Chain A
Amino acid sequence: MDIKLREVEYRYAAGTPFERLAITDVSFHIPSGEYVAIIGHTGSGKSTVLQHLNVLLKPLKGEIEIGRRTIVAGRKEKNLKDVRRRVGIVFQFPEHQLFEETVEKDICFGPFNFGVPMEQAKKRAREAVQLVGLPESVLERSPFELSGGQMRRVAIAGVLAMKPDVLVLDEPTAGLDPRGRHDMMEMFSSLQKKNGLTCVLVTHSMEDAARYADRIVMMHKGRVYKTGTPHDIFRDRDSLTAIGLDVPETVRFQRLMEAQLGRPLSRLCLTPEELAEELSRMRRESL
């Protein structure tokens, strides 16, 4: 399902003395089945953009096309359930949304709201728990006696169980251990590749953006600063540092190495795997 934003603007507390412009003139395209990463300094408006993707916030200007539906500023919107089902959002610190007595019930909350029958919802809960790397036994426990990281996984499972077409993730791995982080990111990526899920990821990790994204949107002070493929974005270190970001470690290493060698490598490597391959190829050639 395609999502297109056109010149979207949003202000918090509009019309009160506390009015605050959060995003303006935001336009970009999320093509169906792609993995889009949104990066930007803290406060640049990333979370605000995300909340427009399933109409939790309505634009004050501009319009958003979500599949066949178009949300236009200033028009009353009814019947958003279908949009909400098809675009699943995992919020920053989603563990705060847990409320049921058992993990299973909590995961089933979304599916029940969208009219999925009991048996099927329970089946989805089992699958979702596996996807996020928790044992099935956790289903019977209370979500409040889990550790922070486990709660996070349960909350993510709750959104996965809705079986959305578009999965929107707001820093889903902040605060997880390195292993958990890696597994979680690999799981999202494989859902995107194997099941054709569209993924939108907000992240502060340039490494994750470089590794997983097909396309990157850079935000700065509520505007889209630049969009492009990871190669386009990370080739240009100056524009990244200008808005308080930087290139992934691998690229930094490559640049340092190039400076010492006095010549550039044949291509820009975004992941350690790519770089290792490139270096060993160079080594073989020079022998």
Chain B
Amino acid sequence: MMEKIILGRYLPADSVIHRMDPRAKLMFIFGFVLIVFLANNVATYALLGAFTLFVVFLSKVKPQFLIAGLKPVIILILFTFFLHVFFTKEGELLAEIGFFTIYKGGVIKGIFISLRFFLLILVTSLLTLTTPPISVTDGIEALFGPLKKIKVPVHELALMMSISLRFIPTLLDETDKIMKAQMARGADFASGPILERVKAVIPLLIPLFVSAFKRAEELAVAMEARGYKGGEGRTKYRILAWKSRDTVSLVLLAVLAAALLVLRS
């Protein structure tokens, strides 16, 4: 049941994108998120779309997996689209349905905004699809490292993040198992009135919490037993290496930004 969720999961493969330094990828995504807002006409959106497709192609992630992973957010994108179509009153009047009016400007804006949304989600999910969660946290820890000077517990935050990421699949597995065990005892999670269904979740949630707490405690004890005392003086197992392809990726992004600046209206 839980196994269909693809958003936020890593797909091991060998591609340029997979091999990039997570710091570069994070900087790239951050830059991309800003750049997307530069696009405001057909030419700029076309360029942005082409660039994104090129990145997808480089990543060797099969498009159907991306599409499958995007399914849950498609509704959100459609919602934004219709919001703009119905509520933007610009340009010539196209149609009138009941008390809804549709203007040309609204349709164009709807398309642009949902396209922007779509590209953003595509590129960010590409990050998680091509980077092991652990590398993402390593990257974040490295990028935010300077904040340690002003007493931000960067290492601890990164550790918390990597532990949570590590245990998401475990928790999903566990949910699946407990759900099946309760279904075998006649529990019904899928039908009935809403109040009944809320109540039906209790036999699932309690065992889940109990085991999560137990696991947390065991993990804490195991870490302490192996001498963990926080980030101070701790050496690293995975050492990040910045390669020329990482520089190239950021340069490409800068070129894209420049092109968008020239083309935008």
Contacts and interface: CB of A to CB of B under 8 A. Distances in A.
B6 interface: yes
A158 B207 CA distance: 15
A125 to B, nearest CB: 13
A99 B62 CA distance: 42
B180 A91 contact: yes
Main secondary structure of the interface of B (DSSP, over half): helix
A39 to B, nearest CB: 22
Interface in B163-222: 174, 177-178, 180-188, 202-203, 206-207, 210-211
Given A17-B65, A91-B184, A97 B3 contact: no
A281 B233 CA distance: 73
Contacts of A158: 185
Interface string A36-63: 0000000000000001001010000000
Contact of B207 (A89, A99, A113): A99
Nearest to B191: A78
B180 A110 contact: no
Contacts of B3: 12-13, 16, 18
Contacts of B211: 96
Interface in B1-29: 3-4, 6, 9, 11
A162 B6 CA distance: 37
Nearest to B2: A13
A109 interface: yes
Contact of B4 (A13, A54, A94, A109): A13
A158 B182 CA distance: 10
B68 interface: yes
B162 to A, nearest CB: 21
A284 to B, nearest CB: 51
Interface stretch (A80-88, A178-186, A229-237): A80-88
A114 interface: yes
Contacts of A28: none
Contact of B184 (A13, A18, A88, A96): A88
B181 A96 contact: yes
Contacts of A110: 185-186
A84 B181 contact: no
B142 to A, nearest CB: 29
Contacts of A144: 210
A85 B187 CA distance: 11
A17 B11 contact: yes
A109 B185 contact: yes
A99 B202 contact: yes
B207 to A, nearest CB: 5
B188 to A, nearest CB: 7
Nearest to A112: B186
A159 interface: yes
Contacts of B183: 56, 84
A97 to B, nearest CB: 4
B203 A51 contact: no
Contact of B177 (A84, A96, A98, A162): A96
Q: Tell which of A16, A56, A84, A158 has the most Cβ of chain B within 10 Å.
A: A16
Contacts of B177: 91, 96
A110 B185 CA distance: 5
Interface in A1-19: 12-13, 15-18
A243 B117 CA distance: 53
Contact of A99 (B11, B174, B186, B206): B206
Contact of B185 (A15, A17, A18, A162): A162
A159 to B, nearest CB: 7
A98 B207 contact: yes
24 contacts: A12-B3, A15-B68, A16-B4, A16-B65, A17-B6, A17-B11, A17-B62, A17-B65, A18-B9, A81-B188, A84-B185, A89-B181, A91-B184, A96-B177, A96-B178, A97-B185, A99-B202, A99-B210, A109-B186, A113-B186, A113-B187, A113-B188, A159-B185, A162-B186
Interface of B: 3-4, 6, 9, 11, 62, 65, 68, 174, 177-178, 180-188, 202-203, 206-207, 210-211
Given A91-B184, A159-B184, 4 more contacts: A17-B62, A99-B203, A109-B182, A162-B185
Interface of A: 12-13, 15-18, 51, 54, 56, 81, 84-85, 88-89, 91, 94, 96-99, 109-110, 113-114, 144, 158-159, 162
